[in-house]
Amino acid sequence: MNFLAISSEIATTILAMVILGIDLLMPKEKSRKCLGYITVIGLVGVFIAIFNQYHLGNAPTFVQNLFIMDNLALLIKQMCLLAVGFTVLFSVDFVEKLPKHHGEFYVLILSALIGMMVMASANDFLTLFVGLELMAISFYVLVGYALKSSNSSEAGVKYLIVGSTSSAIMLYGVSLVYGTTGSIIFQELAANFALYSTAALVGILMVLIGFFFKMSIIPFHMWAPDIYQGAPTPITALLATASKTAAVAALIRVLFMAFAIVKIYWLPVLILLSTLSMIGGNLMALRQTNVKRLLAYSSIAQAGYMLIGIIAADAAGIKGVLFYTLIYIIANIGAFSVLIAVDKNYGEAEFSTIAGLGQRAPLLAAVLTISLLSMAGIPPMAGFVGKLYLFTAVVEKGHLLLAFIGFIMSMISVYYYLQVAKTMYIDKPASSEKIELTFAIRVTVLLSLIGTVVLGIYPEPISNFINMVISTL
């Protein structure tokens, strides 16, 4: 067995055990902020170490090729590490305010991260499901972690019910695929004509439904607004970024490695749901007055954009998905770090609480505005380049209507994103009190701002790196 293939998972597991051990040994009256910083340092170490594992030859595998460490898996792991690392950094003060279970909060986040890493490297449905459930079970607890908040507790119960239902549907679909083909290994399924049987096609649809739930694709999106609004803000950030990234990566691997032979059946489904998600997500976001709920509907639309690259079904499309997912993570990190600061000072991030933010905290207002404009795809922000890659790839495949719908919906999204900016810069603040920025928040918003602008102006290095990753698959 080649343990190099699971080195990132091993390192993250050790980090979680170290955090848990330090938490147990520390006196109860001591501040737990150091646990957050140790977690961030450990994640940075794992992130950097992964650069040494990129390769041009055969990918290392573990346990009879059931777990593969190809360049796609490495890139997705780094994206998840990026999202989790920054989320932990800007949530240090949030965790400090919790009445208890500070160390467990970080351990559960690391547990979810390990699940995401397993999903990125899974080469069969059993491994994929184990990773998916490790991530999901961790989030069931984390969503309801703010014990004194009835909204958080309600969101936790809702997410448990919806998440377990979607997992059951997906697992039953896997059982149908296995029953008709005799295999759950992706490469063995790729050339198995038994997938054309009715039972197998029903199983494939159920597997895809499981993914669509995790990605909050319409019509499997019903859980997202309530969960995003009720969950603690750091956990909402992870659900919107790292969790979605892992689901997108696993979906790419399943569709193109296991179910490529039946592309004629799943491609129309993806086109339909991508269209519904872009239209529905953006239109429903127009009516929102809670910023987290607005971002929930926005994330539904963003998932629709991500499907565009998968629909293109070629190297250019996959490149577009990966690049867009990266800049989506960076923009969301900036947006949610601002919401954390607002939550700390004024409570729930309603439009009324961010009114006049441009006067009270100019840096926060600027970062939130730029992050939202990047999600809308406005140049010179990074989101424009990402959407350009996606739309170009799908147009080259002849899906002109889909690209046109995506463009129109992007323009509609500008309206509700600018509503947020208008509230921050034009509306009168309810309070003239300045917002104090912690070191962690300041670092996070500045790095997000730099990343969003630099990748919009000079995307070539990251674009070329993603091209290298795709060329080795």
pLDDT above 70 (res 296)? yes
The tokens 């739930």 sit on which residue?
213
What was the pLDDT predicted at 307?
94
Give the per-residue pLDDT at 224. 86
* Predicted confidence (pLDDT) at residue 99 exceeds the cutoff of 90: no
Q: Using alpha carbons only, give the angle 17, 18, 22 rounded to the nearest 5 degrees.
A: 120
DSSP letters for 12-33: HHHHHHHHHHHHHHS-TTS--H
Q: Is the pLDDT of residue 32 over 90?
A: no
Interval 183-231: pLDDT, tens: 888 888 888 777 788 899 999 999 999 999 989 899 888 888 889 888 8
CA 202 to chain CA centroid, Å, is 27
Q: How far apart are the first and last CA of the chain?
A: 22
Q: Give tens-digit pLDDT for 352-391.
A: 788 888 888 889 999 999 999 999 989 889 999 999 999 9
Query: Based on the number of CB atoms within 10 Å of its own CB, is 191 exposed (0-12), middle (13-18) or buried (19 or more)?
Result: exposed
In the predicted model, is pLDDT for residue 154 greater than 90? Answer: no
Residues 263-283 have pLDDT tens digits of 899 999 999 999 999 999 999
Judge whether residue 33 has pLDDT over 90: no
Confidence of residue 1 (pLDDT cuts 50, 70, 90): low
At residue 427, the pLDDT reads: 81
Mean pLDDT of the chain: 88
Query: What's residue 131's pLDDT?
Result: 94
Containing 228, the helix (H) or strand (E) segment is: helix 223-230
CA dihedral 89, 92, 94, 98 (to 10 degrees): 140
How far, in Å, CA of 169 to CA of 219, rounded? Answer: 15
Question: Do the beta carbons of residue 293 and residue 228 sit within 8 Å?
Answer: yes
pLDDT of 138 above 90: yes
Region 23-42: mean pLDDT is: 82
Say which amino acid occupies 443. Answer: V
- Residue 57: predicted pLDDT: 66
Nearest CA to 159 among 222, 210, 249, 115?
A: 222
| 56, pLDDT greater than 90 | no
CB atoms < 10 A from the CB of 197, how many? 15
User: What's residue 353's pLDDT?
Assistant: 82
| d(C-alpha 85, C-alpha 37), whole Å | 10
Q: Give the per-residue pLDDT at 366.
A: 92
CA-derived radius of gyration, the chain: 21
Per-residue model confidence as pLDDT tens digits over 306-345: 999 999 878 888 999 999 999 999 999 999 999 888 887 7
| pLDDT tops 90 at residue 472 | no
Distance (Å, rounded) from C-alpha 74 to C-alpha 117? Answer: 9
How many angstroms separate the CA atoms of 18 and 39, rounded? 9
DSSP per-residue codes, 237-277: HHHHTHHHHHHHHHHHHIIIIISGGGHHHHHHHHHHHHHHH
Least confident of 245-259, 416-430, 443-457: 416-430
3-state secondary structure of 394: helix
* Rounded distance between C-alpha atoms, residue 18 and residue 29, angstroms: 20
% of residues, the chain, pLDDT over 90: 54
